Amino acid sequence: MRKWFGYILIATVLVFDNSVLAIVPFPGRTGRAIQQDTTGYVSPFRDQNERCFKCHGQSKYEYSNENLGLTVKALMCSERIVDRNQFYSSNHKSFSCTDCHSEGYAEFPHPGELRMEQKFNCLDCHGGDPAYEKYQFEEIDSEYRQSTHFKLEKEGFSCWKCHNPHYYKLNIRDNKNISEAVIYDNNLCLNCHANFKNFQLLTDAMEINIVREHNWLPNQSSHFKSVRCIECHAKANDTLLVAHLIKPKEEAVRGCNECHSKNSILMSSLYKHLSKEERKSNGFVNAVMLNQSYVIGANRNEYLNLISLIIFGLVLLAIAVHIIFRIKSSIKAKGGDNVSVS
Amino acid sequence: MYLYPKWVRLWHVINAFLIIVLIITGISMQYTDRENAAYLMGFSRAVKWHNISASFLVANYVFFILGNAITGNGRYYKLPLKNLISDIMTQFRYYAYGKFRGEKHPFPVNTERKFNPLQRFTYVLAMYVAFPLLIISGFGLLFPETVINRFFGVSGLILTDILHISMGFCLSIFLVVHIYTCTLGAKTFSHFRSIITGYQEPDEQ
Ligand code: HEM
């Protein structure tokens, strides 16, 4: 029997040391044979884009070598594969590949000078456009310029590094399923921070082991599934839906009570787009969180609080009254055999 | 008479200590805020010690259940359904009224009857109803993947948590009442002495 107690104890101690990250492999980076269209979206540039997809759409491509008079088959490296379905469900699905890339790419082999092609950045198209005012591109840009990643611009960091040019899709803005958005947003960071292949392109620093760096956070895997990296790493911003100012690591949120409290910071970050809805319902504080998770300390119920205080008070009162009667009756009994208070 | 075997006393002192730690850390987790960074003790320390003492509590609870199953102590925890309510009312009336009148104890303690009906009822409720629910729901919170996601449209985690908090609250109330009723022995502190030494003075007649 004693052995069993030991096992239970060991099992419970191990729980404090959990280490599974919720990394979902970045989709679309795996080349498959020609795939089914799952989006149902028909692009005005479908045929034009097929020129590129026939090589860039999967892991195998072929071209004819006129000198040899042969059809050569070769492998497309995974970084240069663009998944059709993800492209056609992205924000920029209505684009032709050659809206952003030079028409020169229609040729193969691609002309060498295209390597030096200057890429657009987000503000080239979205800057100052009233149609996109609600996204506050300028404000995001200025936050980005203060963020810790900005110093890596000359190494090639840009908005595109987080917002995959071919797949980026609005998520948290019109998504009521928080855990889905959390996974999307976290994978966006983990694409570098849990994938050294991409990380090393931007820095000579050693690999950062995300799990170890966050060992101070208990239930790590469950936290990483229910809050985003930016909750702790981005500076709070009242106007932006998604704060973009990634702070130096020293300034990251570490206090549990920032989230596990009545006025949890999650209400103005992760739950911001929902928090216009009722903050309280059925007596629960921060009720919008309850559809997705239960956050200890942030989801107290005021009715239960009140009821428990009342019950507690009544019990103490009853005990106090009982004590008074006991003292009275023992004083009465004192005359006799001197029994102590009982 | 010796009513409390060694293992019961050992179980009880560990249990009492752990429950008190659990109540303090539990309250601290529920009420820590951004302004009062440490309601009682601070969130992360509270989580850590709540988890640790809960693990020991579970082991200790298993010890209690086995002890009651193996030794004769379990028989004191059998609730006779006959006269259950009326016996409890008789005992309650004694505490509320008869005691001050110098009436005789309606259910004097002996080796056949360690607990009076009221004690027995609350002990059974606490040990065989509240404890299991508390432990199961606590397990659910520690391993959220084991909790049913949706239960009639409400998140399973919320129900688990409310169950856990409610049971914690019930046991806290039990604790207060329990400690108080333990002062109702032959002398104010004689029951406390018995749960430590095992020896119980007979009730005053
Ligand atoms: C919530 C935590 C507690 C639980 C669940 C609990 C439960 C129990 C149980 C089941 C018994 C009967 C044991 C047996 O003989 O089989 C008992 C006895 C006793 N307990 Fe506790 N106890 C708790 C906390 C405490 C604390 C903190 C104290 C003292 C400060 C205390 C004082 C006593 C005394 C004096 C007795 C012997 C009198 C009697 O049997 O009624 N208990 N307790």
Using DSSP's 3-state secondary structure scheme, residue B34 falls into coil
The pLDDT > 70 percentage for chain A reads 85
- The shortest C-alpha distance from B160 to chain A (Å) reads 10
CB B122 within 8 A of CB B178: yes
Of B46, B48, B50, B63, whose CA–CA distance to B10 is shortest?
A: B63
Domain extent listing, chain B: 6-197
pLDDT of residue A95: 94
Within 10 angstroms of residue A298's Cβ, the number of other Cβ atoms is 24
Rounded Cα distance between B168 and A74, Å, is: 65
Q: Is A45 part of any domain?
A: yes
Q: Is A171 part of any domain?
A: no
Q: Is A327 part of any domain?
A: yes
Q: Is B86 on the interface with A (CB under 8 A)?
A: no
- The shortest C-alpha distance from B82 to chain A (Å) reads 28
Rounded Cα distance between A8 and A39, Å, is: 49
Reading the block at residue B131, the tokens are: 């404890």
Q: Is A338 on the interface with B (CB under 8 A)?
A: no
Element (H, E) at B196: helix B190-197
Ligand 1 atom 22: residue of nearest CA:
B16
Q: Is A334 part of any domain?
A: yes
**Which residues of chain A fall below pLDDT 70?**
1-35, 275-282, 334-342
Amino acid identity of residue B136, one-letter, is I
Ligand 1 atom 11: residue of nearest CA:
B123
Provide the number of structural domains found in chain A: 2
Tens digits of residue pLDDT in A186-227: 999 999 999 888 898 888 888 888 899 999 998 888 899 889
Reading the block at residue B11, the tokens are: 């179980």
Question: A15 and B162 in contact by Cβ < 8 A?
Answer: no
**Topology of domain B6-197, CATH:** Fumarate Reductase Cytochrome B subunit (1.20.950)
pLDDT of residue B152: 62
- The shortest C-alpha distance from B184 to chain A (Å) reads 6
pLDDT of residue A26: 41
| Residue at which a domain ends, from A65, A99, A119 | A119
Ligand 1: residues with CB < 6 A are B 4, 8, 12, 15-16, 19, 73, 76, 114, 119, 123, 126-127, 171, 174-175, 178-179, 182, 191-192, 194-195
**Terminal Cα distance for chain B, rounded:** 16
Question: A319 and B157 in contact by Cβ < 8 A?
Answer: no
Nearest-CB residue to B33 (from A218, A257, A290)? A257
Q: Which chain A residue shows the shortest CA-CA distance from B101? A: A329
Amino acid identity of residue A185, one-letter, is D
pLDDT of residue A35: 63
pLDDT of residue A279: 57
List the 173-232 stretch of A: residues with Cβ below 8 A of B: 216, 218, 222
Q: Is A7 on the interface with B (CB under 8 A)?
A: no
Rounded Cα distance between A316 and A323, Å, is: 10
pLDDT of residue A319: 94
Q: Is A109 part of any domain?
A: yes
DSSP letters, A228-254, are -HHHHHBPP-SS-SS---BPPGGGS--
Using DSSP's 3-state secondary structure scheme, residue B113 falls into strand
Rounded Cα distance between B180 and B134, Å, is: 23
ipTM of the complex model: 0.84
Question: B32 and A300 in contact by Cβ < 8 A?
Answer: no
Please list, in sequence order, all residues whose beta carbon lies within 8 angstroms of the beta carbon of residue B43, skipping any fewer than 6 positions away. A255, A256, A257, A260, A297, B28, B29, B32
Tens digits of residue pLDDT in B52-73: 999 999 999 999 999 999 988 8
pLDDT of residue A28: 41
**Which residues of chain B fall below pLDDT 70?**
1, 37-38, 40, 148-155, 202-205
Q: Is A29 part of any domain?
A: yes
pLDDT of residue A248: 94
Look up the domain containing A338 and give its range. Answer: 310-342
Please list, in sequence order, all residues whose beta carbon lies within 8 angstroms of the beta carbon of residue B100, skipping any fewer than 6 positions away. A325, A326, A328, A329
Report DSSP state, residue A119: P
Measure B178 CA to ligand 1 centroid, in angstroms: 7
Amino acid identity of residue B36, one-letter, is N
CB A185 within 8 A of CB A230: yes
pLDDT of residue A280: 59
Question: B173 and A319 in contact by Cβ < 8 A?
Answer: no
